[in-house]
């Protein structure tokens, strides 16, 4: 949708806060003028079709909410544009070192050091100059997610069929445990404080375990739909689980207590991210949309498009309103969760992007994927 395209509100000649009765009156007035039975215009059928579409959308509560969210997402042609203030992006380095596709990247919160791990479980620590300073092979299992903590501590997790694998690194020491699930594991997440591991299965099971021992804290069933994405809030208090039936359920991370279910989605969930202040929840779906919700109410705030293939990763900037997406189309998206500027799309690779992460002060963005390169970007964004 471009800025030159009239909105449904423009077509009906009403304001964006018009109530149903106002919209109905506007529709009747326009129908009396443009209906093919009364109009001699050669464009009468086309004009009436547009009027009908606008009317049907704006008088249906859920469709209108989604349409308003799409308008809030801004002009879609901005997705191809170069970055504009208040966000500036510059590629700093391409880091070479992985022999297999890269599945996860993370920054240490205190030192800012970048880490990445590949399909072969080779974990690499990178110096600021772009050279690797350390490499460790994580034995057993397959890594799909990575989280770094202060004082050199790192956690990695992943799954192989019905097993969840967790590695805890403290200096040179590496500890590993493997937990057996009853069902095929589809997604894994590490809590922000490193105390818990969440794993979703293709058979609708969500299990949360103690990260130190592997002991199950609780196990839940998600109706009859596969759990396709899981994410913890930065403070570790909340857990979101997305499912194949186009829902996201928010729970207390420690207890599993239900808080709310978001159903304003159109397709299977592929990725989820919380803003650092727990104001926003970003949800990506196989329909190539990213929907932004108000976490406190579950209301849909914004809907954006820009990727041509499924979105595999989402991550919020520390400022709370900017977030990044990585897609199988090889692009990286930068989006505004709040109202304001449009979006930026970076043509990063000809291969899928599997992971994105910001550092603690938001000045760096790392992204990587199937082409085995880790790209490091300099980010300038307002607080």
**Is the residue at 47 inside a domain?**
yes
Residue 101 has pLDDT above 80, yes or no: yes
- Burial of 173-195, coded b for 16+ CB within 10 Å and e otherwise, reads ebeebebebebebbbbbbbbebe
Q: Whole-angstrom Cα distance, residue 127 to residue 125?
A: 7
Chain segment 334-368, per-residue pLDDT in tens = 999 986 555 788 999 999 999 999 999 999 999 99
Q: Are 326 and 369 in contact (CB under 8 A)?
A: yes
The pLDDT of residue 223 is 74
- 31 confidence band (pLDDT: 50, 70, 90): confident
**Is the residue at 39 inside a domain?**
yes
The pLDDT of residue 341 is 52
Mean pLDDT across the stretch 298-310? 91
**Is the residue at 315 inside a domain?**
no
pTM: 0.84
The pLDDT of residue 4 is 61
- 40 confidence band (pLDDT: 50, 70, 90): confident
Angle (nearest 5°) at CA 242 between 237 and 246: 140
The number of CA neighbours under 13 Å toward the Cβ of 90 is 7
The pLDDT of residue 342 is 55
Residue 79 has pLDDT above 50, yes or no: no
**Is the residue at 50 inside a domain?**
yes
Maximum alpha-carbon separation in the chain: 82
The pLDDT of residue 182 is 60
Dihedral in degrees, nearest 10, Cα atoms 226, 232, 236, 237: -60
Chain segment 119-165, per-residue pLDDT in tens = 999 999 999 888 999 999 998 888 999 999 999 999 999 988 778 99
**Is the residue at 20 inside a domain?**
yes
**Is the residue at 49 inside a domain?**
yes
The pLDDT of residue 27 is 87
**Is the residue at 220 inside a domain?**
no
Chain segment 192-250, per-residue pLDDT in tens = 999 999 999 988 999 999 999 999 999 998 778 999 999 999 999 999 999 999 999 99
| CA 259 to the chain's CA centroid | 20
The pLDDT of residue 2 is 43
> 20-34 vs 44-58: helix axis angle to the nearest 10?
170
Residue 374 has pLDDT above 80, yes or no: yes
The pLDDT of residue 326 is 97
- 78 confidence band (pLDDT: 50, 70, 90): very low
The pLDDT of residue 52 is 85
Question: How many domains are there within the chain?
Answer: 1
Domain that holds residue 14: 8-59
Q: Are 159 and 152 in contact (CB under 8 A)?
A: no
**Is the residue at 32 inside a domain?**
yes
Specify the residue for token string 């103690």: 210
Residue 61 has pLDDT above 90, yes or no: no
Q: CATH code at 40?
A: 1.10.287.110
Q: What is the DSSP string of 288-327?
A: S-EEEEETTT--EEEEE---SS-EEEEEE-TTSSEEEEEE
Chain segment 255-275, per-residue pLDDT in tens = 999 999 998 788 999 999 999
Residue 282 has pLDDT above 70, yes or no: yes
């Amino acid at each position: 949708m471009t800025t030159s395209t009239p909105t449904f509100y423009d077509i009906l000649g009403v304001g964006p806060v018009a109530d149903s009765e106002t919209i109905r009156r506007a529709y009747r007035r326009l129908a009396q003028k443009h209906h093919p039975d009364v109009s001699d215009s050669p464009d009468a059928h086309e004009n009436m079709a547009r009027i009908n579409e606008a009317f049907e959308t704006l008088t249906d509560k859920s469709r209108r909410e989604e349409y308003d969210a799409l308008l809030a997402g801004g002009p879609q042609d901005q997705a191809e544009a170069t970055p504009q203030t208040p966000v500036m992006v510059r590629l700093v380095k391409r880091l070479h070192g992985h022999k297999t596709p890269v599945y996860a990247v993370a920054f240490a919160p205190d030192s800012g050091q970048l880490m990445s791990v590949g399909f072969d479980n080779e974990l690499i620590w990178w110096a600021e100059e772009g050279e690797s300073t350390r490499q460790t092979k994580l034995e057993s299992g397959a890594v799909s997610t990575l989280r770094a903590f202060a004082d050199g501590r790192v956690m990695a997790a992943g799954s192989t069929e019905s097993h969840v694998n967790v590695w805890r690194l403290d200096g040179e020491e590496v500890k590993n445990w493997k937990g057996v699930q009853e069902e095929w594991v589809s997604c894994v997440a590490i809590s922000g404080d490193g105390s818990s591991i969440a794993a979703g299965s293709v058979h609708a099971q969500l299990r949360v375990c103690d990260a130190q021992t592997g002991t199950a804290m609780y196990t839940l069933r998600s109706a009859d739909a596969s759990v396709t994405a899981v994410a913890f809030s930065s403070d570790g208090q909340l857990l979101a689980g997305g499912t194949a039936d186009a829902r996201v359920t928010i729970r207390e991370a420690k207890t599993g207590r239900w808080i709310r279910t978001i159903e304003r989605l159109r397709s299977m969930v592929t990725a989820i991210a919380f803003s650092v202040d727990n104001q926003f929840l970003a949800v990506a779906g196989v329909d190539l949309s990213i929907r932004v919700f108000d976490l406190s109410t579950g209301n849909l705030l914004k809907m954006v498009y820009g990727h041509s293939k499924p979105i595999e990763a989402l991550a919020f900037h520390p400022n709370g309103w900017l977030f990044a997406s990585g897609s199988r189309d090889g692009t990286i998206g930068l989006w505004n969760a709040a109202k304001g500027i449009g979006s930026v799309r970076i043509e990063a690779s000809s291969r899928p992007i599997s992971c994105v992460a910001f550092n603690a002060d938001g000045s760096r963005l790392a992204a990587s994927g199937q082409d085995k390169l880790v790209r490091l970007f300099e980010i300038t964004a307002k607080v």
